[in-house]
Amino acid sequence: MSKGILYLIPVPLADDTLDSVLPADALAIARTLTHFVVEASKTARAHLKLFGTPHELRSLTMNELNEHTKDGELADLLAPLLAGHDVGLMSEAGCPGVADPGARLVRLAHARGVRVVPLVGPSSILLALMASGANGQKFRFNGYLPTGDGDRLAAIRNLEASSRKEKQAELFIETPYRNDALFAALIQHCSPGTHITVARELTGADEWIRSRTVADWRRGPKPELHKRPTVFVLSAD
pLDDT tens by residue, 138-161: 999 999 999 999 999 999 999 999
What is the average pLDDT score of the chain?
95
CA dihedral 13, 18, 19, 25 (to 10 degrees): 100
CA 155 to chain centre: 21
Confidence (pTM) = 0.91
pLDDT tens by residue, 62-85: 999 999 999 999 999 999 999 999
pLDDT tens by residue, 106-132: 999 999 999 999 999 999 999 999 999
Give pLDDT, residue 114.
97
| pLDDT bracket for residue 184 (50, 70, 90) | very high
DSSP characters over 163-222: HHHHT-EEEEE--GGGHHHHHHHHHHHS-TT-EEEEEESTTSTT-EEEEEEHHHHHHSPP
Long-range contacts (CB closer than 8 Å, 24 or more residues apart) made by 107-112: 108/74, 108/75, 108/78, 109/6, 109/78, 109/81, 112/3, 112/78, 112/81, 112/82
Residue type, 161: A
Mean pLDDT of the region 194-205: 96
- Phi and psi, residue 25, nearest 5°: -65, -40
Strand partners, 171: 141, 233
Spell out the residues 6+ positions from residue 56 whose beta carbon is closer than 8 angstroms to its own.
none
5-118 CATH pick, 3.40.50.300, 3.40.50.460, 3.40.1010.10, 3.40.50.1980: 3.40.1010.10
Domains of the chain, by residue range, sit at: 5-118, 124-235
Rounded to whole angstroms, how far apart are CA atoms 181 and 124? 21
Name the fold adopted by 124-235: 3.30.950
Alpha helices in 83-123 (DSSP H): 103-111
Rounded to whole angstroms, how far apart are CA atoms 172 and 161? 15
Rounded to whole angstroms, how far apart are CA atoms 99 and 144? 10
pLDDT tens by residue, 202-233: 999 999 999 999 999 999 999 999 999 999 99
